[in-house]
Structures are given as structure tokens and as C-alpha cells.
Amino acid sequence: MSKISGIFTNWGEAYGRLVETYIDGTWWTVGDYLENVGKGTKRLLVNAYPFLYGGTSSSVFKGSSPKDGGFAKPTKDVEQRFKD
């Protein structure tokens, strides 16, 4: 019982470490969130306004339209599809 004052200082040190860990973790989480929001916003802006970022509006769209439009036509009867 000679070191009763150590209880209070040890508790204060432990509490300080807990608060420091909480604050560091919070800032880490907020930083990651803001980084991802920034990257997503940049990606959306590049798609919406490609001419601002050194591209042209046609460079965003790749591929071509299909030659034949319309609906798909089945090649098998319904019963035959389930037998294969």
C-alpha cells in the first residue's frame, strides 16, 4: 500500500493511451473515407467532363453499337432446353 498514488497515475496513463488510440483511429478512418470520396468524385468528373481532363467526349465510349437491334430469339424449344 505504499504506492497508492501509482493507481491514479497508471489509470491516467491508460486513459490517455485509450483516448490517443481512439483519436488516431478516428482520423485514420476519416482520412480513408475522404480519400475514397475524392477518388470517386474524380472518376465521376472524368466521365462527365472528359474534355477538362485532356480527353475527348468520344474517347470515353469504347466499342460500337450492335449491327442488329431487337430481341434475342430462342434456338430451342422450352422442353429441349431443360433436357440438355
Distance CA 35, CA 68 (A): 43
* 34 in Cβ contact with 21 (< 8 Å): no
Per-residue CA distances from 18 to 28, 29, 31 (Å): 15, 16, 20
In this prediction, residue 34 carries a pLDDT of 94
Q: Please give the model's pTM, rounded to 2 decimal places.
A: 0.44
Cβ-Cβ contacts under 8 Å for 47 (sequence gap 6 or more): 60
Full pLDDT tens readout for the chain, 84 residues: 455 666 667 888 888 899 998 999 899 999 999 999 999 998 888 888 877 776 665 555 555 566 666 667 777 677 776 775
In this prediction, residue 1 carries a pLDDT of 45
Domain coordinates in residue numbering, the chain: 1-59
- Tell me whether residue 46 is exposed, middle or buried, using C-beta atoms within 10 angstroms of its C-beta: 0 to 12, 13 to 18, 19 or more: middle
In this prediction, residue 14 carries a pLDDT of 87
